[in-house]
Amino acid sequence: MPLEEPILCKRIPTHPWGDPVDRKYVDYDRYVATGGYAAMDKAIAMPPAEVIDVVKAAELRGRGGAGFPAGMKWSFLPPDDGGRRYLAVNADESEPGTFKDRLLIDFDPHLLLEGCAICMHACRLDTAYIYIRGEYHAQAKALQRAVDEAYAHGVFGEGSKLGQINGRWPECHIHRGAGAYICGEETGLLESLEGKRGWPRIKPPFPAVAGAFGRPTIINNVETLAMVGPILDRGPEWFKSMGKGRPDGTPPQVPASFGPKLYGVSGHVNRPGVYEDELGVKLSYVIEELCQGMRGGKRFKGAIPGGISMGVLGPDEYHAELDFDIGKKHNCLGLGTAGVIVFDEDTDMVAVARNIARFFSRESCGQCTPCREGTSWMYKILCRIEEGGGRSRDLDMLLELAGSMGAMPGTTICGLADGANWAVRTIVNKFREEFESRVTREKYVALPVMG
Amino acid sequence: MAWIVKNSAGATIDRREEAYLNEAMKKRLEKEVLWRYPTRQAATLPVLHEIQHEYNWIPPQAIEETAAFLGLSPAQVMDTASFYDDFFLQPKGRHLIMVCQSLSCEIMGHGRLLDALREKLDIEPGDTTRDGKFTLRVAECLGSCGTAPCALFNETLHENLTLDNLDEILNSLE
Ligand SMILES: Cc1cc2nc3c(=O)[nH]c(=O)nc-3n(C[C@H](O)[C@H](O)[C@H](O)COP(=O)(O)O)c2cc1C
Ligand code: SF4
Ligand code: FES
């Protein structure tokens, strides 16, 4: 069911409510004139623990890829000890196919800043760092402008409306990355923030206990934090009236898929772009209604549901519901960032797999052998298949390589390897015939494995 | 591939009398940047960005100066600097062109763009034109997948690129 009114896009003209050509930066005054920062004022008047309870009750799940419940994350923090505690905002947005956070930063950055302020009050965090990827030059400027405005109007800095937190006036700083996908992984981000190479850390300890500079730290995605203001404003019940609840019989601890979501759609559709709709809308609806159909009237061949790490949906999964349960239902890793990439019938899936494997081999940070070696081997094998030199056993080798790497099989530190694993595995499996037709068949005798 | 490290043990460093990280820059950084972080090391990325902004690349001597400024060893700063694709440890052209090669851009025709640039500039990705005007690079997803193909020309993102507007952009760069 389509969303009744835009929520995250309230001030950002978006189809069907507005025309993207009318988008412009919303400054502090216009933000406040349209109801902005009222949720922050409301939150400040509440005891911090109650604010966390509201976010918990709304069952807001992280929009950065993993879908972890935000309220639960916030309640993992140890009791405050008077020392510093940090908020790290993940604006690294580098997952191919993902361009939704950029929309919020470009046009309505105060929505993010208000969410940060509420989170800092609720979790007793005195300093926020917004980690924004280095290539987002214009976005860093827009964000800096908004941060300056927020300081000038008493959101942050000395005399802040939030009052002192941990004995300090709350601060909000922008920290620019420098071109490394892995710095979007939360602990890679923290290392980078500390001035080091972006090597993900072994967990535990989790950032909520020992994060930035060894202190308790909350890390959330831009869209997750942007959602906090509207939830405080209108309440958890309103939030849960959108999206999809738990399937019947599921215990209440299992998180559901409530609320609106930004879908960034690219690829072979007539009108690509970022759209806001409820969680759980069908892929076919996104393509036909939001994006006005396949480009040139071509047939649908497949799609990536949420950034290339998530794997692929095949031709028979055209009606897949885009919610957090998509992984279980459609044999992919999950909803990810909801950055949907659509392929038409002319798309070469071997090339798609090769492109993805190249991405991961280039962006692997190199700490874990299965990831560092596995991604480059997959890339080499896929190049060979694409160029016509592949053999049928290459396909099995690809699947074996892919299936053995990742934090989920327990062989790597972070989830980058799982992304590579799922992407390559699902493409080869769901388009097996296409791959078979590209390799030469051969008989081979299995040799005993040494070692 | 950030984990590929070059052996720089025998490399000699070109030095100059004048500091890259000069007193004015240090003063400004001290005032505007360092107070934001609980450690001096945390300012490594902002300082390196500043140096690259000023000199268009990060000379080895500047790495040593950054280390001295932040109370680190040059090896620590080098370790960080060499990890990030956006830091140039070798001089680059006056204009940097970064063509996105990730999935949405590839399926929307980034190949034609890249070929056109190769031909016009007569260089391969990773190289700099002989006159030092352009450095061409391929980049991963630039966060503009809905308006693919796209490329960054210096700090400006150009979306929905075609061969026609490519010429216009190139001509507009001095
Ligand atoms: C390799 C890798 C890259 C990631 N990149 C991003 C990113 O660019 N932006 C983001 O918000 N989360 C990214 N994540 C997810 C973060 O680790 C983390 O789960 C998220 O920022 C938490 O915020 P959320 O709970 O609000 O979603 C990435 C994860 C992995 C494993
Ligand atoms: S899984 Fe890959 S990217 Fe993640 S820490 Fe290990 S080597 Fe680095
Ligand atoms: S794939 Fe090129 S901008 Fe995202």
Q: What does the pLDDT look like over A269-292, one tens digit per residue?
A: 999 999 999 999 999 999 999 999
Cβ of A405 below 6 Å from ligand 2: no
**What local confidence, expressed as pLDDT, does residue A247 receive?**
80
* Cβ proximity of A202 and A185 under 8 Å: no
Ligand with the closest atom to the CA of A309? 1
CA distance A192 to chain B (A): 8
**What local confidence, expressed as pLDDT, does residue B5 receive?**
67
Q: Is the pLDDT of residue A326 over 90?
A: yes
The residue with greater pLDDT, A47 or A408, is A47
Most distant CA pair in chain B: distance in Å? 50
From the candidates A185, A196, A361, which should be mutated to test the interface with B, based on the most B CB atoms within 10 A?
A196
Query: Could you give the CA distance from residue A381 to residue B159 in angstroms, rounded to a whole number?
Result: 32
Say how many CA atoms lie within 13 Å of A309 toward its Cβ. Answer: 28
Position in ligand 3 atom list of the atom nearest CA B104: 1
Query: Could you give the CA distance from residue A320 to residue A322 in angstroms, rounded to a whole number?
Result: 6
β-sheet with B156-158: strand ranges across: B134-139, B95-100, B151-153, B156-158
Q: How confident is the model at residue A446 (pLDDT cuts 50, 70, 90)?
A: low
**What local confidence, expressed as pLDDT, does residue A115 receive?**
98
- How far away, in angstroms, is A96 Cα from ligand 2 center? 17
- Chains A, B: CB contacts within 8 A come to 156
The residues in A 190-209 lying below 8 A from B, measured between CB atoms, are 192-198
Query: Alpha carbon of B84 to those of A112, A198, A313, B78: distances in Å?
Result: 27, 8, 33, 10
User: Mind giving me the DSSP string for B54-118?
Assistant: HHSS--HHHHHHHHHHHT--HHHHHHHHTT-TT--SS---SEEEEEE-SHHHHHTTHHHHHHHHH
Ligand with the closest atom to the CA of A365? 2
Please enumerate residues of B whose Cβ is less than 8 A from a Cβ of A.
Answer: 1-4, 36, 38-39, 41-46, 48-49, 70, 79-80, 83-87, 98, 101-104, 106-108, 139-148, 152, 155-157
Q: Is the pLDDT of residue A74 over 60?
A: yes
- Is B44–A195 a contact, with Cβ atoms under 8 angstroms apart? yes
Cβ of B99 below 6 Å from ligand 3: no
Q: What is the pLDDT of residues A226-249, one digit of tens each?
A: 999 999 999 999 999 999 998 888
CA distance B2 to chain A (A): 6
Mean pLDDT, residues A351-370:
97
Q: What is the pLDDT of residues A12-29, one digit of tens each?
A: 999 999 999 999 999 999
Question: Can you read off the two tokens belonging to residue B120?
Answer: 């016009």
Q: Does the predicted model carry a pTM greater than 0.80?
A: yes
Q: How confident is the model at residue B10 (pLDDT cuts 50, 70, 90)?
A: confident
Q: Torsion angle of alpha carbons A361, A363, A367, A369, nearest 10°?
A: -10
**What local confidence, expressed as pLDDT, does residue A354 receive?**
98
Mean pLDDT over each residue of chain A, to the nearest integer: 95
Say how many CA atoms lie within 13 Å of B164 toward its Cβ. Answer: 1
Query: Could you give the CA distance from residue A373 to residue A186 in angstroms, rounded to a whole number?
Result: 23
Q: How confident is the model at residue A450 (pLDDT cuts 50, 70, 90)?
A: low
**What local confidence, expressed as pLDDT, does residue A2 receive?**
76
User: In B, which residues are within 8 Å of A361 by CB distance?
Assistant: 1
Residue A358, SS3?
helix
User: In B, which residues are within 8 Å of A97 by CB distance?
Assistant: 102-104, 141, 145
Chain B residue closest in CA terms to A269: B146
Query: Alpha carbon of A196 to those of A257, B54, B117: distances in Å?
Result: 36, 22, 34
Ligand with the closest atom to the CA of A407? 2
| Torsion-angle region of A154 (φ positive above 0: left; ψ -120 to 50: alpha; else: beta) | left
